[in-house]
Amino acid sequence: MRVPRRVVGALMALVLLCTLLPTAVWAGAPACTTTVLFTHDLHSHFLPQRTEDGGASGGYARLKTALDRERAEHPDALVVDGGDFSVGSLIQTLYTTQAAELRTMGAMGYDAATVGNHEFDHKGTGFAQMLNAAVLSGDRVPALLMANYWPSAEDPNQLDIQRAMAAYGVKDSVLLERGGVTYGIFGLMGEDSHDCAPTSGFVLEDRVKSAQRCVDSLKEQGAQFIICLSHSGTNEKEKKSEDEQLAKKVEGIDLIVSGHTHTTLTEPIVVGDTYIVSAGPYCENLGSITLTWSADGAKSLTDYRLIPIDETVPEDPEISAMVEGWKSQVSGSYLARYGFSYDQVLTTGGFDLETPESGLQEGNALGELVADAFLWASRELVADAPSVHTVAVTADGVLRAPLYAGEITASQTFDVLSMGVGEDGTSGFPLVEVYLTGKELKAAAEVDASVTPIMPVVQLYLSGMSYSFNTHRMFFNRVTEVQLYQDTVGDGNSRDRAYTQIDDDQLYRVVTGMYSAQMLGTVKSKSMGLLSLEPKMADGSPVTDFNDCILYDKNGSEIKEWYALAAYLRSFGENGLPDWYAASDGRKDVNRSWSPIQLLKHPNWITLAALAVLVLVALAVYWAVRTLVRRQRRRRYGGGYRRRRFGR
C-alpha cells in the first residue's frame, strides 16, 4: 500500500520535533540554586565561651537563631555537620546516657551529620550507648552517615554496636528532596581522624573507593547534587590535605563539608568541579554556601559567608531552655560526686592564660599551671601518696581551652582538659603514675626539644623538673641541662625553688594523664629508635596495663585531669591565682643561639656520629675535587705534564 506524501511529511516533522524537544527544554530550563548551611567540630559547645576581648563566642541557642534567619531567606536550605559534634564541655558527660548532642542538633533542625574521632572517645561501646539513648528519647535527630567506618569483626561487642547503629538508622548515604532538587549526601572518616581514635574498635575502609561507590550509587538513584560530609580536613601542604586529595581522585562530588582540622576557610577551595568549605570549630561560625548550577552540572558560586555566632545574636528560647536542662542534669549527676556545680566559681585570675601556639617551642603559663596542678594533686588528693620526688607532665594536645582573666568556674576548668574517658566509664582522662629512670627523664626532655617540630601535640610542660635546650642543635641532642626542683611557697605571691641533679640510674615517680602516659610508649618509634622511654611500676617492672597505674582519691574515685586542676584552683580561693602564673616562669629554657660553643657542647653519640659523617663527606668532596683538577690538567697538558712533574 502506498503512503501519501502528506502523511510521510507529517511523520518526519513529528520525528524532528521529538528530536529537538529535549534540547529546547534543557536550553530553556532555569538554573537550580542550592544553599547549604554547615558546621563541624562543634565539640559540645552548647554554651557561649568567653573570648579574649571580653565578648562571647558560640552557643547553640544563638546558633539556632542564626539558622532560623538563614532558613527564612533560603527555605530550601540543607543543614549539615562534618563531625566531632561531641567532647569539649561538661555537657559531654551526658553523651552515653542522654545523647545530648544529637538530640539538640535535631531540635535545631540538622538534616544530616557524619562522625568524627571524638565520637569514639568512649570507645565503640560508648558510641553504641549514645545511639541507643538517642533512639529511646524519641526526639528528632539528624541522619547519621558513615560510609567507610564500621565495627571490627574482632571486637567482642561488634553485634551490640551493629544493632545500635541499625536501630538509629546509621547509613552510608541518604537521599533528600528539597525544593524540587534531589540531594545525595554521604559521610566519610579521614585517615588522620581514624589514627586519632585508637580505642574506637572500628575499621577504616579506603576513602576514595568508598566515596566513589557512594557517588555512583546516589546518582543511579536520581541524586542531582552530591554532598560529602568529611571528617578528614585540609592542610596548607596539598599532599597532606586529605579533602583536596579526595576531590582530585573522586568524580562527581559537588560539595565537601570538611571537618577535623578545625580550619576556617574564608573562601571555598575549588578542585575541579568540587567546592570544599570549612567554618571553623567550636560553633564560632555558621557556614553558608549558595551555588547556582545548570543541568549539565556547571556550577557558579553565588554566595559564601561565615556568620559569626557571638553576643550580637539573640538566643532562641527553646534551645536555651533545653541547654539549661542539660546543665541541671550534669550538676545533679556527674559533678555531684566532686562536690561542684556547673557555674561554681573556684577562684579568680588577673590575667589571661592562653593555650599554647601549635609548634612554637616556648614555655606556656597554662601548661605549667596544669602540670603544677597534677603535681599538687599527686600529693594532696591521693591516698597514701609515696614520699618520693615526683615529676608531673602534661602535653600541648590535651590543653583544649584557655582561661581568661576574671572568675574561673568549674565548667571552664573542665573545658581545658575535656578529652577522654576513664576506666570507670565516665568523661575525662584520669591521672596515672609511672616510674622512669633519670636517664629516661632526660630523654623525655629531648622528646619535647626534638619531636615537637614534627609533632606539635607532643610538646611537653613539666613540674618538678627544669631543662634547657637549643633548637639549632642536632636532633636528639638538643637538651643541654636537666635538673630536678622543689618549690617552697612563701608569704604572698612568692615562691623559692631548690634544684638538685638527676641520678641517671634512679627511678623517679612521674604523674601525667592517661593519654600522655600511653604516648610514652611510642617515643621509640617517633624518634626512629634513638630515644626510648619504658614506663615502669614502682618496683621497676614494665607497665603492661596503664589502668593499673590510675590514681584514686581517698574515696576510691579516679582523679581526673580536670578535677586535679579544679581542686588546685579552688585551693587559692579568694586570694586568686598567684601572679607567678602571669607568664612562663623559665622552667623550660629555649635557646636559639648559633654560637659554635652552644651548638657543640656536651655532644652525645648522635652528634659525634653526625660530625664524623660531615668530616667523611668533606674528605670525599676534597678528594673528588682534587681528582677532577688532576684529570683536567692531564687533558690540558697531555703527557708533558707528567714528564715535567716526574723529571722525564
Q: Specify the DSSP class assigned to residue 281.
A: S
State residue 622 phi and psi, 5-degree precision: -60, -50
| CATH number reported for the structural domain that contains residue 244 in this entry | 3.60.21.10
Say what the pLDDT of residue 5 is: 58
Instruction: Give the contacts of 310 (CB within 8 A, at least 6 positions apart).
Output: 51, 55, 56, 57, 62
282 and 360 within one domain:
no
C-alpha torsion 364→365→366→367, nearest 10: 50
614 and 585 within one domain:
no
Residue 319 lies in a domain: no
Q: Specify the DSSP class assigned to residue 206.
A: P
Residue 21 lies in a domain: no
564 and 624 within one domain:
no
Using DSSP, state whether 215 is helix, strand or coil: helix
462, 347, 322: which is closest to 395 by C-alpha?
A: 462
620 and 551 within one domain:
no
| CATH number reported for the structural domain that contains residue 488 in this entry | 3.90.780.10
As beta bridge partners, residue 304 has 289
470 and 618 within one domain:
no
Using DSSP, state whether 277 is helix, strand or coil: strand
353 and 279 within one domain:
no
Residue 280 lies in a domain: yes
Say what the pLDDT of residue 9 is: 53
Cell 610542660 appears where?
461
As beta bridge partners, residue 427 has 421
Query: Contact, 389 vs 508, CB < 8 A?
Result: yes
* Distance of alpha carbon 373 from alpha carbon 367, whole angstroms: 10
Mean per-residue pLDDT pooled into runs of 10, the chain (648 residues): 52 45 42 95 96 90 98 98 96 97 98 97 95 98 97 91 98 96 98 92 97 98 97 94 98 97 97 97 98 87 97 97 97 93 96 90 96 97 91 94 95 95 93 96 91 84 96 91 88 79 96 87 65 89 95 94 97 94 94 87 76 83 88 72 49
368 and 223 within one domain:
no
Say what the pLDDT of residue 22 is: 42
Q: Specify the DSSP class assigned to residue 487.
A: E
* Distance of alpha carbon 270 from alpha carbon 276, whole angstroms: 6
Instruction: Note the pTM of the prediction, 2 decimals.
Output: 0.85
Residue 617 lies in a domain: yes
Residue 181 lies in a domain: yes
214 and 174 within one domain:
yes
Residue 434 lies in a domain: yes
Whole domain around residue 432: which residue ranges? 342-599
- Which stretches does DSSP call E strand in 354-474? 390-395, 406-409, 431-437, 460-463, 465-470
Residue 8 lies in a domain: no
Residue 15 lies in a domain: no
C-alpha cell belonging to residue 89: 564541655
Count structural domains, the chain. 3
